[in-house]
Amino acid sequence: MPPSSLRVVYAFAREMHPKTSDVFIQYGTAGFRTKANLLEHVVYRMGLLAVLRSRVKNGRTIGMMITASHNLEPDNGVKLIDPDGEMLEQSWEEIATRLANVSDNDLESTTGEIIKEVNADMSLKASVFIGMDTRYTSPRLAAAAVHGVIALKGTPKEFGIVTTPILHYCVKCRNDNTYGTPTEEGYYEKIVGAFKSIRQKIPVAGNYNTRLYVDGANGVGGKKLNIIRKTLGDELDLVLFNLGGNGGKLNLNCGADFVKMSQKPPVGVEHVPFQRVASLDGDGDRIVYYYLDDKNEMQLLDGDRIATLLAGYIAELLKGCDVTHLRMGLVQTAYANGASTQYITQDLKVPVTCVKTGVKHLHHAALSYDIGVYFEANGHGTVVYSDLTKSTVSRIAQEGDAEQRKSAQLLLDLIDMTNETVGDAISDLFLVESVLCARGHDVTQWMQTYRDLPCRQLKVTVENRNAISTTDAERNCTAPESLQCKIDELVSKYESGRSFVRPSGTEDIVRVYAEADTQQNADRLAAEVSQAVYDLAGGVGDRPTVPA
């Protein structure tokens, strides 16, 4: 593309999407995410980058999702999806950051530099799928994305309001037609179709109840489940709340992140003891379960619980298939409860890999197994299956003896029910319900598999999050120099104590995690470590206090 052809890049920026802020913005673990009024020029430029990425990938389709996930409504964001439905390749994150922050006057020349740097063939066709969540700022940002794609002569296709995982799925299907049909309807047909198929094979038994209450976080996931609900018949009785009506605000006092972080039930529904509830997040890529016990105390079934539930059942099916050469592993982050790690390794006898926070790290590690189960404690996760696994199980489903065929056919349904591209609250919901039904379990039986160590998460505002450096999958702090020694000293005071700190990927805060033998001790340890971070890493605002 001759330099004159890049003039439209500057023209669109100057006339329609000018850079009006000098605030530096960085592509983090979930793309760009900040106040929506700072993002229009960024999203326009990511439209440019998506076209370049498509051409570098020989014209394969790239995705752009406009969302700030579990953040509150005034925020928004954008992230790019690579051709296999995975997160943007990490080496391109720096390129995205550079392009987002240059001045309008330098945008044309920087775009030209990036074209040369990545060796993009500008004569190739380029395809970009664009989706958005339900935020009132999303349509304007989606329009900016379209303009960015058009400016470099790419072809945009708008999906409107979809969950983040649906867009990941459609990108994957567009580039690999063996995976499914690249439409929202194609997603429902595959995921929900597999759920109905498995439920015909495993009738309701034991203590399992088909009624499930779902907190939609006033976001897109609840809206899509409302569409699906009408097709489920007697297989699953979904009672949906927080669907965005009656003045409900996105993720405000509801949703997976609120439930996980506050360890309180969401607003919007009257709870009955032992009623099974699932909470989605705003863009439908996270899910946690919970219930209130007979003392009205909330019992949380988070990503760790979902991972162990799925891994245990898949292990049973593999045993039923009489398969020994397929290697299953579970991937966690440092946020995983220590009790879950012990249960997985000692009871399930499944190897565990610990990686840095961020779904891209978990996904990559999971691919090293024939069957990789990965979940963050926040409820973001899925299962990935190798081609060898799929071909092996398909063969057994046809050629094995009666019992082997039965297990293999159930596993094939689970595989089809799984959105392997990314964590998917809707897919994960159907997976959890399938396993609970197969086992005849209610929430208390699910909870009884192991006992979580009490934990607490806090955050400390700092002048510069880059003052904190970590190693060993973020479990050890290497800077400031004396901080890890202080953390070790504090941890040693508590039975079953564990704590780590890590900088946020998107804002100047440091996240603090602590667990111990009692909730009081976990709370105290988290507060004491927060004080250490404040003192040694440049805390801002009021100094954290330790509970009495």
Task: Let me know: does 308 contact 343? Beta carbons within 8 Å.
Answer: yes
The amino acid that residue 209 corresponds to is N
| Helix and strand counts by DSSP (H, E) for the chain | 18, 19
501: which strand partners?
Answer: 512
Candidates 305, 355, 311, 356; CA nearest to 329 is 311
Burial call 178-211: b when 16+ CB within 10 Å, e when fewer: ebbbbebebbbebbbebbbbbbeebeeeeebeee
Query: Can you spell out the DSSP letters for 297-361?
Result: -EEEE-HHHHHHHHHHHHHHHHHHHT--SPPEEEEEETTS-HHHHHHHHHTS---EEEE-SSHHH
In three-state secondary structure terms, 377 is: coil
Tokens 């900016």 found at = 144
Verify whether residue 69 is a known catalytic residue.
yes
Give the dihedral sign, CA 128/129/135/139: positive
Q: Which of 54, 69, 434, 530 is catalytic?
A: 69
Q: Of 472, 503, 471, 475, which Cα lies nearest the Cα of 487?
A: 475
Give the whole-angstrom CA distance, residue 427 versus residue 489. 43
> Angle at the Cα of 485 (from 483 to 488), degrees rounded to 5?
110
Q: Nearest Cα to 362, choosing from 345, 344, 348, 375?
A: 375
Q: What is the token pair recorded at 442?
A: 């209610």
Nearest residue to 407 (alpha-carbon basis) of 396, 418, 419: 396
Cα R_g (the chain), whole angstroms: 23
Query: Half-sphere exposure of residue 319, counting CA atoms within 13 Å on the CB side?
Result: 8
CA quadruple 252, 30, 332, 416: dihedral sign: positive
Three-class SS of 426-464: HHHHHHHHHHHHHHCCCHHHHHCCCCCCCEEEEEEEECC
Between β-strands 127-132 and 62-66, what pairing exists: parallel, antiparallel or unpaired? Answer: parallel
Half-sphere exposure of 172 (CA within 13 A, CB side): 20
Looking only at the bridges linking them, the beta strands covering 211-215 and 298-301 are unpaired
Residues designated catalytic: 69
